[in-house]
Amino acid sequence: MNKKVFLTSDGFSFHTLELRWNPTDAEFTKAFDQLKCNSRSGEFYPVKEVGGVFAWRCNAFSRNGIQVFLTRGHQNMISLTVNPRKLIEPDASYLGIVPPYQDTLEEIRNNFTLVIRKAGLPEDINAWKLHRLDLCVNICWNRKNVAAELIRLLRLDEPLSSAFVKESELRRHAVRWSNDRVELVAYDKLLQMKRESLIKGEKLPKSVLRVELHFGRAWIRDFIKKEQLKTTVDAIQVLSQNSRRLILKYAQKCMYGGMYRKLKAQLEIVEEADGMKKKIRKRLKGILKTANSSSLKEARKGLTEEQWETCLGHFRRLGVHPLPLREKYPVKQLPSLLMILNELDEEWDSMKIQKDGRLVPCIF
């Protein structure tokens, strides 16, 4: 087995932006006409009409990573969904996210102006409100199906915090945790790219897990106020600079840490642990056995919140994930997603899994 886990060269950064603008009736009509004039057949079309609210979509600038949505009703709105990597590099791989360089945001801003000028919309990105931003990171292995296995294991977890609801999307091999302000998603990126025919003969890792953190408008508004940010560009820059910190912050609320191992190995670690009461040792073994045959949700039944927290504290101390690795999986141990996110960063973007389960920095 290749025992390395690594990040793509983009590291922790951001991907999708949603920008919004509320034009007057006259501004809306002018933009509508110019977008329609700039669109080829099939690139500008109505989407829906519900209760007197009309909507259209324009794909004329999709090569540059920009989709335009127009809504006319009690309040006019034009929104842009922007893939900033495509904006600065139209032929970029769909695996890529925004490169983590100082001048990248300025390049995005300049290219945004050039594209949007053709659309007859406000040219300066600061004229638009930031409505959504997705921070993200690609975690890679040169071994097939590792991402799929981690997704399978995450589906058997429960959200660590009761403030989050977890959903699984079996077809997409995705897991998402959400509340009314943020959404954390982990999914098999290569599987998604294959299904949507987005792979273009490029050399790719054998397995890629994409982690995304989606912020809604309410969270972004509060963040801008707290950080005293003046412009949309300022907000994008500060959020992107804090990508790893924020992804890790919410991952720690949703996921369990530690190393996945086969049930026998997990039980041996618990049995050999020093300074543990017999009652606690028995309880930890019971959790592991039930989780192995069912799920963590089933394993915690009958335990009070205090008892469960005590058990989790022991698992953390032992470096044990409370969900064992399935017996037929072809490796003995697999670091949990939270463990990987804790260890990988911009300085050490490649780690090797030691025999004792530790992750240590390595260089290709």
pLDDT tens profile 255-285: 999 999 999 999 999 999 998 999 999 999 9
Q: How far apart are CA 218 and CA 7, in angstroms?
A: 30
36-77 confidence digits (pLDDT tens): 999 999 999 998 766 666 899 999 999 999 999 999 878 899
Q: How far apart are CA 108 and CA 89, in angstroms?
A: 10
Q: How far apart are CA 308 and CA 256, in angstroms?
A: 13
The pLDDT value given to residue 360:
87
Residue-wise burial string across 315-331, b where 16 or more C-beta atoms lie within 10 A, e elsewhere: beebbbbbbbbeeebee
Q: How far apart are CA 212 and CA 185, in angstroms?
A: 5
The pLDDT value given to residue 1:
43
Give Cβ neighbours of residue 307 (< 8 Å, ≥ 6 apart): 283
204-226 confidence digits (pLDDT tens): 999 999 999 999 899 999 999 99
Which residues of the chain fall below pLDDT 70? 1-2, 49-53, 170-171, 356-357, 363-364
Provide the total of helices (H) and of strands (E) in the chain, helices listed first.
13, 15
Report CA-CA distances (Å) from 305 to 85, 137, 276, 326: 44, 33, 20, 27
The pTM of this model reads 0.91
Report CA-CA distances (Å) from 325 to 17, 91, 261, 292: 37, 39, 5, 8
Q: How far apart are CA 171 and CA 121, in angstroms?
A: 38
The pLDDT value given to residue 157:
84
Q: What phi and psi, each to the nearest 5 degrees, are found at residue 131?
A: -100, -30
